[in-house]
Structures are given as structure tokens and as C-alpha cells.
Amino acid sequence: MVQDWDPDEHVAPELQVALMRRAVDRRDAIRERCGACQRTPLVGERVYFDHAGAVFCELCRALDPDPALGSRIVHGPEFGHTMRLTDHRAA
Ligand SMILES: [Zn+2]
């Protein structure tokens, strides 16, 4: 039986963790939201992330007193599957 994946139903917890890990690994390839304001960053916008992998937009980053682990530019989905650009410099 094939169903669309629903993270809240029909999935064993350990599988959810595995899927979540995979989603985090592929986070450059998926649409993501700011962890604070839930806004989806615009393509070309710089986003910041902390050690937990949480993503913050430019505006929310400015309000966060903790230094971000890094930042990167949001790419459109056409780049996500073939390119992985990371910027490990301190913000
Ligand atoms: Zn935000």
C-alpha cells in the first residue's frame, strides 16, 4: 500500500527519526522555514543556523543574542538537488 508520507501518522517513531535525519541532511534541497517567525526565506536571502540545525531568517537573526553557527544563501529548488553549498564562516 503506497501513501503520501504523513509525518504525524502511520510512521513508527524510529522511522520518523530516520526520515528527519535524512531531511536534515538534505535541508539545502527542501523548502525551509525560519524557526522563529515561520516565514519561508526568499531565494537569495541569507539564512543563519545554529548547532541544533535550526534556521533563522535575517530579521530574526538580528534579534537573537547567540552567535549563529553559520549562514548561507537560500537557493531555488533547481539548485537544491545538484549543489550543496555551505558556508562555515562565523557570521
Ligand atoms: Zn524569522
Residue-wise pLDDT for 23-64, tens only, equals 665 554 456 789 999 998 888 899 998 888 888 999 999 887
- CA 91 to chain centroid, in Å, comes to 17
Structurally, how many domains does the chain consist of? 1
| 39 CA from centroid of ligand 1 (Å) | 6
Q: Is residue 7, in this structure, part of any structural domain at all? A: no
Report the pLDDT value the prediction gives residue 37, as an integer from 0 to 100.
Answer: 94
What CATH number is associated with residue 68? 2.10.110
Q: What is the mean pLDDT of the chain?
A: 76
Over pLDDT 90: what percentage of the chain? 15
Compute the distance between CA of residue 90 and CA of residue 79 in angstroms, rounded to an integer.
24
Q: Is residue 90, in this structure, part of any structural domain at all? A: no
DSSP string over 16-31: HHHHHHHHHHTGGGS-
| 69 CA from centroid of ligand 1 (Å) | 16
| 10 CA from centroid of ligand 1 (Å) | 31
**Residue range(s) defining the domain that contains residue 55:** 13-80
